[in-house]
Structure 1
Amino acid sequence: MFFKKILKTNFSLFLNVVSVFLPKKKAVILLYHSIDRNDVYLTIRPEIFEKQMCYLKENKYLVISLKELVENIKTKKEIQPKTVILTFDDGFLSHYEKVWPILKKNNFPATFFISTGLVGSKINNSQNMPQPTANWEQIIEISQSSLIDIEPHSVNHYELDKLSLAEAENEIVESKNEIERRTGKKCLFFAPPRGKYNKETLNLLKKNNFEAMVIVKEGLVRTNDDLFFLKRKTINSSCSNHIQFRAKLVF
């Protein structure tokens, strides 16, 4: 126990030192999935999620919307130190019941990527266990807040690189149209299910007036990055450890 405590202290000190010397003109996009009380790999417990948001608040991280980040990249505006963007995939019911109240409390903007064909139904988590999703009434409610953007994650959560061109376009266009019709707001960004995409996916997004795509690949975002390859750092159950979460925030 003593050596474990020493190791944690030293690693925490290492993170502080590293964060001082690394270049600061970068942003980190965090990717969350389910927020629930289980030990599934891509799930974070509600109390841990709240502690993580409190950490961002107390340590003066600049939490901005994905929309603001994209605009900064388009205009070559300098990214401010400690910039963080919050994204949530799959439209779980827990996003409405547990995430939304915490975001509202901290005045944090966020983007939710939903699969429109699975709204008010169930979607499998990372261990193929079905979890409930938010319904349209709940989605529309949070979409009315200036803090929240609802964006497409396809219709059926299929891996787009395994579909025909026509099928992939339908997944992209129909999810976009449905969200815009329901919320009255324009969709600008896309998150491919399970991070799977190909060259045709990119062409379809550009053809249908999307401005950016976020992917499932660890890394930071710089002002000269390609808007259709915006990296995200996945927050999984290992990040329940405070040090592991802090490591995701090293710029």
Structure 2
Amino acid sequence: MEKNHGMRRLVRWPLLALLLCLGISHSWANDTAEPRFHASILLYHHVSSSTPPSTSLSPRQFAEHLEMLERDGFEVWPLPRVIQHLQRRRPMPDRVAVLTFDDAYISVYENALPLMRERNLPFTIFVNAQFIEERRPLYMSWAQLREAQQAGGTIANHSLTHPYMVRRDGEESDAAWEARMRAEIEDNQRLLEERLGNVPRLFAYPYGEYTPELEAIVASLGYVAFGQHSGPASPFSRLTAIPRYAANGVFANPATLRTKLHALPFPVVEDLPASDLVDGARPRPTWTFTMEAGDYRLNQLRCYGPQSRLLNTDIERAGEGRVRVTVTDSTALNPGRSRFNCTAPHRTENRYFWLSRQWLVPRPDGSWGRQ
């Protein structure tokens, strides 16, 4: 039971069981005409059966995703249209999805583009222009990117060379790092515009890694930016850190992906700490977020860490109808990227609320090693 004074609740429901139980239900009806303000942005990399499994799904699986979107009544919108609605806080239909692809791999052109063109679906490809300039074999060409544009695609910025942007090069100063990051973004944008014409100022962080300092650079340059943490894009998302649902590798399963597609955003008004970076010597972050009242079942809020590990969750009233949730993990995070995910069922609809937080953990000596 919920305690109003911060008493710890050890939550007990495995996330996978919750998702599968919800995923096998075929009743997603929302009988009201209530306006919504969110969209589900899907993230893909390779669409191939012969590329690294962790960042790939087969053409057959991708076709199944498109069929699921159609069957469940989703409208597939261009990403700029969704961003315009979020910026202006304009309502959207309840079921809006967006298709995005990072890195401009050739498999997207060969295997995904024909399926999307057949269905007249818009999409976005985030591009590293240097790889296209160098004509690397795994990547699309400028001519293929122009063809994708003509087929309804938006081309957008993914940095020039796909670096780990939050990391310094050796003894690099803050000023030198900032100048290098600005060049990664602006030099890439310049090349995209030279080769492809008008390109919106949309930016996807390489590897989904960002910090408040990097967000400030992105904002100062006038970009809207996207991570790789999961959750609905909504007015509760920062425009420099909009979530996307990974839909490849282990996340390509249609049953669990379907649950995410139908998820709603928690009405979060504060999310702490500000930075995703975690002390490598003490990699046990404490995550605190504050929410407005909503249609979520607070007594069934559950949070999970790596390997679906159940996390400790404290809930307390924060005044003015708000709720403060504090999430901790008794197990230290490994170096690299990790995520905490929190979900809660809707009070009356057969769907969940969803919130995710990414953590970036260096090694205790300050290095990052391989990821």
TM-score class, shorter-chain normalisation, is 0.7 to 0.9
Aligned-residue offset at 1:137: 1.4
Aligned-residue offset at 1:242: 2.7
Report the counterpart of residue 222 of structure 2 in structure 1: 209
Report the counterpart of residue 127 of structure 1 in structure 2: none
Which shows bigger deviation, 53-62 or 172-181? Answer: 53-62
Aligned-residue offset at 1:8: 10
Report the counterpart of residue 232 of structure 1 in structure 2: 244
User: C-alpha distance in 1, partners of 2:24/2:63?
Assistant: 24
Aligned residues: CA RMSD? 2.5
Q: Is the 8 A contact 1:154 1:171 kept in 2?
A: yes
1:150 equivalent in alignment to 2:155: yes
User: C-alpha distance in 2, partners of 1:202/1:159?
Assistant: 14
Q: Is the 8 A contact 1:15 1:247 kept in 2?
A: no
Report the counterpart of residue 231 of structure 2 in structure 1: 219
If each structure's helix is expressed as a fraction of its own residues, which one has the higher value?
Answer: 1
Q: Which of 106, 110, 114 is the aligned partner of 2:123?
A: 110
User: C-alpha distance in 1, partners of 2:184/2:37?
Assistant: 35
1:248 equivalent in alignment to 2:260: yes
Q: Is the 8 A contact 2:40 2:98 kept in 1?
A: yes
Aligned-residue offset at 1:140: 1.8
Instruction: Point out where structure 2 has 5 or more consecutive residues left out of the alignment.
Output: 1-17, 169-176, 264-371
Q: What is the correspondence of 1:86-235 to structure 2 with a 5 Å cutoff? A: 86-119=99-132, 121-122=135-136, 132-145=138-151, 147-163=152-168, 164-210=177-223, 212-235=224-247
| 3-state secondary structure, aligned to 2:155 | strand
Q: Is the 8 A contact 1:77 1:223 kept in 2?
A: no
Aligned-residue offset at 1:225: 2.9
Opposite residue 244 of structure 2, the aligned amino acid is R
- With a CA cutoff of 8 Å and minimum separation of 6, indicate the structure with the bigger relative contact order: 1
Q: Which of 43, 52, 59 is the aligned partner of 2:72?
A: 59
Aligned-residue offset at 1:99: 1.2
Q: Is the 8 A contact 2:45 2:101 kept in 1?
A: yes
1:60-93 deviations in whole A, cap 9, x for unaligned? 2011111011110121101211111111101100
| 3-state secondary structure, aligned to 2:54 | coil
Number of positions where the alignment pairs a residue of Structure 1 with one of Structure 2: 234
Aligned-residue offset at 1:188: 1.4
User: C-alpha distance in 2, partners of 1:9/1:32?
Assistant: 22
Identity %: 23
1:42 equivalent in alignment to 2:47: no
* Distance verdict in 2 for CA 1:143–1:9, change over 3 Å: closer
If each structure's strand is expressed as a fraction of its own residues, which one has the higher value?
Answer: 2
| 3-state secondary structure, aligned to 1:162 | coil
Larger radius of gyration: 2
User: C-alpha distance in 2, partners of 1:238/1:203?
Assistant: 32
Opposite residue 180 of structure 1, the aligned amino acid is E
User: C-alpha distance in 2, partners of 1:209/1:223?
Assistant: 18
* Distance verdict in 2 for CA 1:199–1:138, change over 3 Å: same
Opposite residue 84 of structure 2, the aligned amino acid is E
